[in-house]
Amino acid sequence: MTERWAAKADIDAALERFERAIPGWARPAAYGLGVAVDGEIVFPHVNVGEHHLPAVVLATICGHVRGTGVYPLTPAQLDQAIALLTPAEACDAYDHPNLRAWRQIRADHPDAAVAVFVGDLANPPAGVHDERFRRFV
């Protein structure tokens, strides 16, 4: 049987489980999954202070704990992130924009995914991918 999180309480419980599983975890101020296209990185969906479950799912895959970080993802890692977040799709109280964006990246550019986490938007960017990400914030 496939796991399904059909209610907001299920989503909240999953969020709590994922967050407890990362010692020292701190929610990012902003995060997103981007894709390098023609030498430019684009972010189909940017999250600022919201959508905490996809953030911690992505962090689980990347090994991110806190602060700012940039992580290239392999197609296998992207598949794993999508699989971990898919049970949330059962909850129709949310639109699931991250899951849609991740699937689109997987379909179109599976070898070019980059996760960006920003711990504090007041801090300077940590490299070119972070700079580009902040243009979308």
CATH number for position 69: 3.30.70.2010
User: b vs e for 86-104, b when ≥16 Cβ sit within 10 Å of the residue's Cβ?
Assistant: bbbeebeeeebebbebbee
Considering the domain boundaries, does residue 96 fall inside one? yes
Domains held by the chain: number: 1
d(CA 32, CA 47): 6
State the amino acid at position 11 in one-letter form.
I
Q: How far apart are CA 3 and CA 71, in angstroms?
A: 27
Assigned domain for 1 exists = no
Per-residue pLDDT of the chain (137 residues; tens, 9 = 90+): 479 999 999 999 999 999 999 999 999 999 999 998 888 899 999 999 999 999 999 999 999 999 999 999 999 999 999 999 999 999 999 999 999 999 999 999 989 999 999 999 999 999 999 999 999 99
Residue 47 is part of which domain span? Answer: 8-136
The pTM (predicted TM-score) of the whole model is: 0.95
